[in-house]
């Protein structure tokens, strides 16, 4: 067994790097700051972000700290196919989600959050489910990134875990607080450039210093038969399939993705998502190769902790300057996702809590900004506290993943089928979460008729996932046919076998149960929702022109923000028939 030796930067070098990184990022955010901030710009940059910034921000946000550790762990555990089962499926989901994103954006071009559109489509209870799931998910993501920062600092510098968490929290908050989403997008671009440069340099150096192709050929015997098999069934059932299901839910349920969807120019959605697909896949699969190399060289993770694989590989096979680049690479990745989480949380609080439920049609821009900025401060404080407690992150991540899996079908179908009702939406999501919890934590023994019930539900869930993916690019008839055939075809293989894989079983159950209940409850509904009304219900909160000039303006275009009326007290009341006029929504 090799003795793990971690190379550590000196405390002076560590502080210079951290202060320099966050200091430069802060100065960059000052360049785009505005004396009088616009609330729509603060949340979604007035829906006008260009291709380069949008694609870079999408990639940087999708690559978070967990991508490093989980991708390397996958390569270490499952061998040749491991990195593919992490990076490829994550990239593929970006590709499959963009057709639905274009639909959301076309129906509500001025939206700020997906929950806001759900409110206009269904009402407050459905919006509450979306908003709460987004809030919980973003808080956990923030905590995970702060935890990763503390762990990295503790391993590679003389600073402590708590000091690392505090520095990351203060650093991210400092450059995100003033300009919100706009700062997040700009800094994402710079951070992604740094990450790509670092990855392009680091991975080849480690490969060469570890022995290159000669080492791979000589150490192939270190891999088991399953690890040498590129089509390993173990890798597919334990890593590929559960992750494949989870990231589809992540793409729909995470506000950081929705926020970028509503921020990019509408005609640039397709190239942005296609570029993000390629960029994310290349970087994350490359990082997963480090875990596979660790397997080849016979590395043993320090203290049995898989999160130590990458730091150990960096310590053993990189020169000091390479360690510095690696440090910047990880700090950049976790900071880009953490600032996106802060921006997402502030947008949810500004739009779905203050705008919809507190202001009730009388939005004061300054007060709205105060809500957004205070949300960032409180969220950072909570993230630092929970990160310092080192809670069981995996349990919470699994729960949030299930919640998002339960909402995928109701959310997507709500924007295509006018018969979906608010009651069907909420009932199906709640039932799916309850049954997921029973299966995932094995509250009931997964044996006999109980196991068969969940395996049938999971088979239907597999059909729902493949059906939705088909529906992304083809018509609904083909999607339904694919879904039904997959569900029926999966049952003979799932019954009696899937009970041994509770993570996959429970995740697919969430999809299957929500789809069945939502469909049955809506089938005989007399509702026929007019989707054209969404654009009138979901409008901007503040006209840029009226904000700058401080006076009213009225546009002939019903979707234009200038229909909003500035009141004497500085609040803004929408002139649209339903948003944010009291009682105008379907709630």
Of residues 33 and 47, more confidence is placed in 47
Q: What is the CATH number of domain 23-30+48-76+90-216+249-395?
A: 1.20.1730.10
pLDDT at 572 over 60: no
Give whichever of 181-195, 232-246, 499-513 has the largest mean pLDDT.
499-513
Q: 394 with 307: CB under 8 angstroms?
A: no
Per-residue pLDDT band at 399 (split at 50, 70, 90): low
Bond preceding residue 580 cis, omega within 30 of 0 = yes
The model carries a pTM of 0.81
Q: Range(s) for CATH 1.20.1730.10 in the chain?
A: 23-30+48-76+90-216+249-395
Contact 510, 457 (CB under 8 A): no
In DSSP terms, 363 is beta-bridged to 572
What percentage of the chain reaches a pLDDT higher than 90? 25
Q: Is 303 buried (19+), middle (13-18) or exposed (0-12) by CB count in 10 A?
A: exposed
pLDDT of residue 571: 45
565's enclosing H/E stretch is strand 565-566
Q: What confidence score (pLDDT) does residue 569 get? A: 44
437, pLDDT greater than 60: yes
pLDDT at 466 over 50: yes
Tell me the pLDDT of the chain averaged across its residues.
Answer: 82
pLDDT band, very low/low/confident/very high, at 570 (cuts 50, 70, 90): very low
pLDDT digits (tens, 9 = 90+) for 331-355: 887 888 888 889 999 999 999 888 8
Got the DSSP string for 334-372?
HHHHHHHHHHHHHHHIIIIIIIIIISTT-B-HHHHHHHH
pLDDT tens for 62-116 read: 777 667 777 888 888 888 888 887 788 878 878 888 889 899 999 999 999 999 9
Which band of pLDDT confidence, cut at 50, 70 and 90, is reported for residue 396? Answer: low
How does DSSP classify residue 3? P
In the chain, what percentage of residues exceed pLDDT 70? Answer: 88
Nearest to residue 147, comparing CAs of 290, 7, 307?
A: 307
* pLDDT value at 417 more than 90: yes
Distances (CA, A) of 565 to 37, 201, 363, 503, 584: 18, 54, 10, 51, 16
> What does the alpha-carbon distance between residue 16 and residue 31 come to, in Å, rounded to a whole number?
22
At residue 324, does pLDDT exceed 70? yes
**Which pairing describes strands 572-573 and 565-566: parallel, antiparallel, or unpaired?**
antiparallel
194 pLDDT more than 80: no
What pLDDT, on a 0 to 100 scale, did the predictor assign at position 143? 85
Q: Mean pLDDT over residues 305-317, rounded? A: 82
The per-residue pLDDT for range 546-555, each reduced to its tens digit, is 444 444 443 3
How many other C-beta atoms can be found within 10 angstroms of the C-beta atom of residue 170?
Answer: 12
């Amino acid at each position: 067994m090799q003795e793990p030796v971690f190379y550590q930067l000196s405390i002076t070098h560590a502080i210079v790097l951290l202060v320099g990184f966050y200091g430069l990022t802060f100065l960059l955010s000052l360049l785009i700051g505005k004396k009088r901030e616009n609330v729509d710009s603060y949340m979604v940059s007035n829906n006008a972000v260009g291709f380069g910034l949008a694609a870079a921000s999408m990639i940087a946000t999708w690559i978070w700290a967990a991508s490093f550790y989980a991708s390397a762990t996958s390569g270490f555990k499952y061998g040749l196919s491991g990195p593919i089962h992490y990076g490829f499926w994550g990239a593929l989901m970006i590709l499959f989600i963009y057709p639905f994103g274009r639909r959301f954006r076309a129906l509500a071009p001025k939206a700020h959050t997906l929950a806001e559109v759900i409110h206009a489509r269904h009402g407050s209870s459905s919006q509450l489910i979306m908003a709460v799931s987004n809030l919980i998910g973003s808080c956990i993501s923030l905590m995970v990134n702060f935890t990763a920062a503390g762990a990295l600092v503790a391993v590679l510098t003389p600073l402590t875990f708590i000091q690392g968490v505090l520095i990351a929290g203060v650093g991210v908050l400092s450059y995100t607080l003033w300009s919100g989403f706009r700062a997040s997008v700009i800094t994402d671009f710079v951070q992604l450039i740094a990450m790509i440069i670092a990855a392009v340099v680091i991975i080849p150096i480690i490969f060469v210093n570890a022995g290159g192709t000669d080492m791979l050929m000589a150490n192939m015997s270190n891999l088991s038969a399953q690890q040498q098999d590129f089509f390993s069934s173990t890798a597919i059932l334990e890593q590929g399939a559960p992750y494949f299901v989870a990231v589809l839910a992540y793409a729909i349920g995470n506000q950081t993705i929705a926020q970028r969807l509503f921020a990019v120019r509408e005609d640039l959605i397709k190239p942005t998502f296609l570029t993000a697909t390629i960029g994310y896949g290349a970087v994350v699969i490359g990082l997963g190769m480090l875990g596979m190399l660790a397997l080849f060289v016979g590395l043993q993770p320090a203290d049995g902790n898989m999160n130590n694989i990458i730091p150990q590989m960096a310590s053993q096979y990189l020169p000091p300057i390479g360690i510095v680049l690696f440090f910047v690479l990880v700090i950049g990745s976790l900071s880009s996702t953490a600032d996106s989480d802060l921006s997402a949380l502030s947008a949810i609080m500004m739009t779905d809590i203050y705008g919809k439920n507190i202001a009730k049609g009388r939005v004061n821009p300054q007060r709205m900004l105060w809500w957004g900025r205070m949300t960032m401060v409180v969220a950072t404080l909570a993230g630092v506290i929970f990160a310092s407690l080192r809670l069981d992150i995996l349990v919470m991540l699994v729960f949030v993943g299930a919640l998002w899996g339960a909402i995928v079908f109701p959310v997507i179908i709500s924007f295509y089928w006018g018969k979906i009702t608010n009651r069907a939406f909420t009932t199906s999501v709640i039932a799916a979460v309850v049954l997921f919890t029973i299966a995932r934590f094995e509250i009931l023994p997964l044996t006999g008729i109980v196991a068969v019930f969940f395996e049938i539900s999971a088979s239907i869930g597999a059909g729902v996932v493949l059906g939705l993916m088909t529906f992304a690019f083809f018509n609904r008839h083909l999607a339904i046919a694919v879904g039904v055939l997959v569900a029926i075809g999966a049952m003979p293989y799932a019954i009696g076998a899937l009970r041994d894989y509770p993570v996959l079983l429970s995740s697919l159950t969430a999809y299957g149960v929500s789809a069945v209940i939502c469909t049955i409850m809506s089938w005989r509904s007399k509702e026929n929702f007019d989707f054209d009304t969404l654009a009138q219900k979901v409008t901007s909160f503040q006209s840029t022109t009226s904000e700058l000039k401080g006076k009213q303006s009225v546009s002939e275009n019903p979707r234009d923000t200038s229909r909003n009326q500035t009141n004497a007290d500085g609040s803004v009341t929408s002139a649209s028939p339903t948003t944010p006029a009291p009682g105008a929504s379907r709630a």
